[in-house]
Amino acid sequence: MHIVPYFGFLSLLIAVVVLLVGFLRAQRTTRELAEQLTQAREQQQQHNLQLSQRSQLDTLKDEFISTVSHELRTPLTSIRGALGLLSSGVIGDVDAKAHNLLRIAVTNTDRLIRLINDILDLERMESGRAPLQIRRCSMRDLAQQAIETMTPMADAGSVHLLLEPSPLGHADATESLFFDGDSDRILQVLTNLLSNAIKFSPAASTVRVYTEGTSDSILVKVVDEGRGIPSDKLDHIFDRFQQLEPADARQKGGTGLGLSICRSIVQQHSGSIWAQRNLGPGTTLYVMLPRTSRASDVTVARPVQPRGEGSILICDDDAGIRTVVSEHLTRQGYTVLEASSGEQALSLAVQSHVEAILLDLYMPGLSGWETLQRLRNNPVTAGIPVVILSVLSSTLRPQLTGDAQGWVQKPFNENLLFAELGRVLHQGEGPANILLVEDDEDLASVLIASFEDAAVYIERAGTRQQAVRHCISQPPDLLILDLTLPDGDGFTLVEWLRQQPTLRSLPLVVYSGREISEPEMAKLRLGPTEFLTKAKVQPREVEELVLSMVRRLRGRSSDLTAV
């Protein structure tokens, strides 16, 4: 009669045990979950700390690179410029012993400049702070230019440089091998490869450059007749500070960074670079780059800039640099004014008749950026061309300022300085630069052909992004714009142009496939703007309108028809 209460008590006990076990399990699960959350929180805090430390390191590295750029390049500019004047004999004759000492000083200063430039360039490229300035380039022209640049070095070593003709029967035998790339960077690759080949070539040997292409790639080969590269080092020669032999750095010169820089530049262009031993003596370096053929690819000669005339204002807080630049410009035929500060430059620019201004960016007091902005805001000085003379690379120009017409990097080559100064002083002379933004290749070819007999230089962009890149790297004198583009439309391109100080008044011809309404016209106007409908006008009429606009803009009635 007591069995039922017993089983009831047992059931209650089991239930209590089950609840207790469940509670203990829940408590353990809660504790484990809390531990996991705490661990995750600690890991996140550690990750955030690492990110913060990495950001601080990046900031410190940027500041260090900026300091090195300015504090080393600025005095080197003065040293190299002064030595160049002395060694050239323009200041006065020097005896043989002094001339030899000057030669040694110039050579080692150039070597130090190359080392600093190579280290900084490589760091900027690998950190993504050296964006490419993409435009249409001719590989044959760049190869020829590289050979001309390196000929003095080759002559000194009794080495002959030869640009071989394209293979017979090849589709590109009569073409210039056009591609989209940064011409300055690709030229840097070619000159580095030639420099390397010349150093390791025996006297009376030949370094040959071959260029060939298909519809989707370009191949460049630099072939030397030197001692060759051991097979186990073919993959390592593109690493930093690599030399075939320990004594090469002293005997051959160089920084050991040239081929590493070449690899970085080629990889930025989505290309590849490699080396192979020749069957005979020497080594062949290969560079392959992607390309796209276009019907509009033609070679156009650029006008030669004349000898300098007029007054140039140099604004730099470094007296040594002002002296060197002034001496170079005076001997080139320019009249020179000097300013040691931004305030003094503003005053001289207002009071004197100045043809152009050479402006340093880093100055105490009023910086170069502020000086440039004040020049542009003053109606008296707004039209004076400004060439930036800075330790910063011109690749940073779009990010820094759009108000300067030219850029020369310190330490500068005087010939580059003269060329850039001459370019900005004669912007209204020579062929007008016209950019055609049109995605239809056939129509673009017809339009370009209609300008064949006109003294204009016309290039084509097939997309909005290509047009933006072209306007940044080489601002045109006039834009012919189709409204329908693969990656956007003409309206967004015009909106971008309006935000650029040097492009917001760009003359524009809108060449649309449809009628444009009045509200749309208001959105598309920049500087002098004309609207044409494709179905209603012929390409020849487009040419006539464009040439008449160019004549009006240049304020003269001279004929633009080629003789």
Shared domain for 344 and 442, answered yes or no, is no
Residue with tokens 């500060």: 341
Shared domain for 140 and 286, answered yes or no, is yes
Residue 563 placed within a domain: no
Shared domain for 365 and 498, answered yes or no, is no
Residue 118 placed within a domain: yes
Q: Where are the beta strands (DSSP E) in 360-445?
A: 386-390, 406-409, 432-437
Shared domain for 421 and 436, answered yes or no, is no
Number of domains in the chain: 4
Shared domain for 387 and 436, answered yes or no, is no
Shared domain for 156 and 274, answered yes or no, is yes
At 91, which helix (H) or strand (E)? none
d(CA 273, CA 267): 8
Residue 66 placed within a domain: yes
d(CA 319, CA 242): 39
Of 410, 425, 440, which marks where a domain is finished? 425
Backbone angles phi, psi at 405, to 5 degrees: -90, -20
Residue 562 placed within a domain: no
Give, for all 563 residues of the chain, the pLDDT tens digit. Answer: 455 555 566 676 677 666 776 766 767 777 777 777 777 777 777 777 777 776 676 666 666 665 665 566 667 766 776 777 777 776 677 788 888 888 888 878 877 777 777 777 777 676 666 677 788 888 998 999 889 888 888 888 899 999 988 654 444 434 578 888 988 889 889 998 998 899 889 999 999 999 998 878 899 999 998 887 877 777 778 776 565 554 444 454 555 677 888 888 888 888 888 888 888 788 899 999 988 766 555 544 433 334 445 789 999 998 888 888 888 888 777 889 999 999 999 999 988 888 889 998 888 888 888 898 888 888 888 888 888 888 776 555 444 445 677 777 777 766 667 766 766 675 555 577 889 998 888 778 877 877 776 777 888 898 888 888 888 877 888 899 888 888 878 898 988 888 876 777 788 888 877 777 778 888 888 878 888 877 566 666 777 788 877 766 654 434 444 33
Question: Which residue type does 337 have?
Answer: L
Residues 6+ apart with CB under 8 A from 140: 163, 176, 177, 211
pTM over 0.75: no
Cα end-to-end span (Å), the chain: 131
Of 408, 425, 442, which marks where a domain is finished? 425
Q: How many residues does the chain have?
A: 563
Residue 503 placed within a domain: yes
Shared domain for 148 and 284, answered yes or no, is yes
Answer whether 315's CB lies under 8 Å from 367's CB.
Answer: no
Of 399, 425, 451, which marks where a domain is finished? 425
Residue 241 belongs to domain with CATH number? 3.30.565.10
- Coil, helix or strand for 314? strand
* Residues facing 315 on adjacent strands: 339, 359
Shared domain for 143 and 222, answered yes or no, is yes
Residue 302 placed within a domain: no
- Coil, helix or strand for 73? helix
Shared domain for 419 and 446, answered yes or no, is no
Residue 296 placed within a domain: no
Residue 319 belongs to domain with CATH number? 3.40.50.2300
Shared domain for 200 and 249, answered yes or no, is yes
Residues 6+ apart with CB under 8 A from 416: 408
Residue 298 placed within a domain: no
Neighbours of 126 (CB within 10 A): 14
Q: Which domain holds residue 547?
A: 432-553
Shared domain for 155 and 93, answered yes or no, is no
Shared domain for 529 and 405, answered yes or no, is no
